[in-house]
Amino acid sequence: MKRKRLLLVVLGVLGVIVAAAILFSGTLFSLVLGSQLSKAGEEKDLDIVFQDAGFTWGGSVDIEGLKVTDRRNSIDLAQVEKIQSEFSWGALFADPKKVDRVSIQNPIFTLYHGIATRFVSSDGSDTQTSSKPPTSVAEKKKKKGF
């Protein structure tokens, strides 16, 4: 009898935890995402905020009202109305991570003089180099015969 009662109590507690996880998953997801974006922004001296975010257990994530602001000069570097993505749960545990589909609605990006050097590390590890010199548009047209 005591075992049955203990089992019922344990199952009841697990049921409450699962119900809370389902009911508050969107809020919890928004809090975790906001925290992670804030940490990522601090590394590059950026404010990264969004109006709303949510996910479904079926494998989709939506972020609305994303805004990235450069803290140094208060320039909005990016504004995105909505980002939608779909993934499979198995792909999240693979390496590298894989997303099946991403949709970005109404993105606005602001570029200014010196932005390229703003996001390059001092040791140059953030840049990609090529052994070939850059080719101008005019040279490309000559090669194609235009």
Given this model, what pLDDT does residue 24 score? Answer: 58
CA distance 30 to 64: 11
Check if the beta carbon of residue 70 is closer than 8 Å to that of residue 118.
Answer: yes
Check if the beta carbon of residue 84 is closer than 8 Å to that of residue 60.
Answer: yes
pLDDT digits (tens, 9 = 90+) for 85-110: 998 878 767 788 788 889 999 999 88
Mean local confidence (pLDDT), 58-62? 85
Q: Which of 107, 40, 35, 36 is nearest to 76 (CA)?
A: 107
pTM for this one?
A: 0.60
